[in-house]
Amino acid sequence: MTARSLSETQDFHAFAAAYRERYPEDVFAPAQALSADQDVTALVAALAARGRHEMLVCERVNGLATPLVTNVFASRTRIGRLFGVEAAGLFDAWQQRANAPLAPAYVARGPVLDHVDEGDAVDLARLPMIRHFETDRGPYVTNAVIVAEDPVTGIANMSYHRSMPHAKNALATSLHSRGHLWRMLQTAKTRGDTLKVAMVIGAHPLFMLAAAARLPYGADERALAGGLFGAPLELVRTPRYGIGVPAAAEFVLEGTIDASEHAEEGPFGEFTGYSSDRSTNNVLRVEAMMRRDEAWLVDVVGGPYAEHLTLARLPREAEMSEKLKARFPSVTAIHYPNSGTHFHCYVALNQARDGEARQIMLALLGWDPYLKNVVAVDADIDITDDAQVLWAIATHFQPHRDLFVVDGLPGSPLDPSSSADGTTSRMGIDATRGSRFDGIRARVSDEALQRAQQWLATGAGAVR
């Protein structure tokens, strides 16, 4: 079996089976039954505290009739295996495939059509969901990809929106990003219409990554998914409104969002590490529920954990890397650290002239609306290591000379420190050495380091 087999089909079950067979050491399957109230998040947190980020497969979760799989995106090594590359080659592999989108293809049948309930038969009590944090309002669907098609062009938008139970046939959800789906909802409102949508809950990881990408308005993320697969995304049509959804999805809900209807939603543990009740308080009225035989709950652990952050951030990092390197050849790497949630970025460069680092940081702060703080360092700094970046700040940075702030810019609506109108300030820190830096970095020879590694490997000098 090769790494390529992880994406040979568009079925999550096939992916999970292939991954467990090839990389059993990277899968954690607890023997005991877990509670649907916070146990899954607690287990992910306990693993992360030990530097572990295995894919979590929970065969038994009390109160759920399905197995649960989560933490799929917590490891960049694991995501790289989807593309057949090491983690270091992930950005290039992503951009190569993302820049070759393929239009989706419709098929007559698919697993998600195994069971279809419509009208009064819809009962969301049968939809598995768990509570992730003690501070959450209740159980949530965190892996809710809403698909909406333009009624004229048929081009779809896909985006993630946290959702919680509201009624037997309705979910309370938030369009707090005020993104493309929000724009489509306002357009429907001006027509005096509701927005017809389908919510996909669980699909192949490459589909989930495509849904997390930020594309221009009018671009179809389903075509991006085809590019990531290297084959057209196979779709079936929903029974009420004919919306194209993945044929091999686990669950799909179909219904409408009325811009005039609202319900309380939140608080929910968001990527900032705070429980957010900032919400548009929208309602999704469900008219049809589709699910496959032996469906699984494919969960995304919310909050400031690696899966939530990496899933949302990886497509943006890859895009920013390509843009920066094309415009500024001196850039060698960029990294959005988990410690900064979505608000920090580190950029490494071989600075050709003074001021270039500042220009690059201004470009990043302008391109990415979530960024608040960018740190520029020299190319010999490992920007995946917070400690090395902090060392660069400590030894290269002078606040009166190397810091700039831009105020009054739009920011993330989930940033608890943003102003009442949602604006934020942004900061650049130039921690490069600059042309007038006077210092020689202390180093140990390669030969001495190799000897030390050999001593450690053989146990020489160990206390007995």
Q: What is the CATH number of the domain that holds 153?
A: 2.30.110.10
How many domains would you assign to the chain?
2
Q: Are residues 383 and 237 in the same domain?
A: no
Burial environment of residue 422 by CB neighbours within 10 A (0 to 12, 13 to 18, 19 or more):
middle
Q: Are residues 99 and 158 in the same domain?
A: yes
* Span 50-91, pLDDT tens digits: 999 999 999 999 999 999 999 999 999 999 999 999 998 999
Where residue 367 sits, what CATH number does that domain have? 3.40.1670.10
Q: Are residues 135 and 22 in the same domain?
A: yes
Residue 54 within any structural domain of the chain:
yes
Both structure tokens of 141 = 């669907």
**Residue 42: Cβ within 10 Å count:** 14
Q: Are residues 274 and 373 in the same domain?
A: no
* Span 335-393, pLDDT tens digits: 999 888 888 999 999 998 999 999 999 999 999 888 999 999 999 999 999 999 999 99
Answer yes or no: is pLDDT of 413 > 80.
Answer: no
Residue 260 within any structural domain of the chain:
yes
What letter does residue 358 receive in the DSSP assignment? Answer: H
Q: Are residues 335 and 262 in the same domain?
A: no
pLDDT of amino acid 5: 67
pLDDT of amino acid 81: 96
Which structural domain, as residue segments, surrounds residue 286?
Answer: 3-298
Q: How confident is the model at residue 3 (pLDDT cuts 50, 70, 90)?
A: very low
Residue 312 within any structural domain of the chain:
no
Q: Are residues 53 and 129 in the same domain?
A: yes
Across 293-301, average pLDDT: 96
pLDDT of amino acid 260: 95
pLDDT of amino acid 306: 86
Q: Are residues 271 and 381 in the same domain?
A: no
> Rounded to the nearest 5°, which phi and psi values hold at 407?
-110, 165
* Span 311-346, pLDDT tens digits: 888 888 999 999 999 999 999 999 999 888 888 999
User: Of residues 385 and 438, which shows the higher confidence score?
Assistant: 385
Residue 350 within any structural domain of the chain:
yes
Least confident of 96-100, 189-193, 359-363, 441-445: 441-445
pLDDT of amino acid 157: 95
Contact criterion met (CB below 8 Å) for 63 and 34: no
pLDDT of amino acid 432: 96
Percent of the chain with pLDDT strictly greater than 90: 76
Cα–Cα separations (whole angstroms), residue 154 to 24, 51, 103, 150, 329: 42, 44, 12, 5, 39
Q: Are residues 197 and 123 in the same domain?
A: yes
Residue 57 within any structural domain of the chain:
yes
pLDDT of amino acid 4: 46
Residue 417 within any structural domain of the chain:
yes
Ramachandran bin of 422, using left for φ above 0, alpha for ψ from -120 to 50, beta for the remaining angles: left
Q: Are residues 277 and 198 in the same domain?
A: yes
Biggest CA–CA distance in the chain, Å, is 80
Residue 80 within any structural domain of the chain:
yes
Residue 288 within any structural domain of the chain:
yes
Answer yes or no: is pLDDT of 174 > 50.
Answer: yes
Q: Are residues 287 and 334 in the same domain?
A: no
Q: Are residues 230 and 352 in the same domain?
A: no
Q: Are residues 57 and 130 in the same domain?
A: yes
Mean of all residue pLDDT scores within the chain: 92
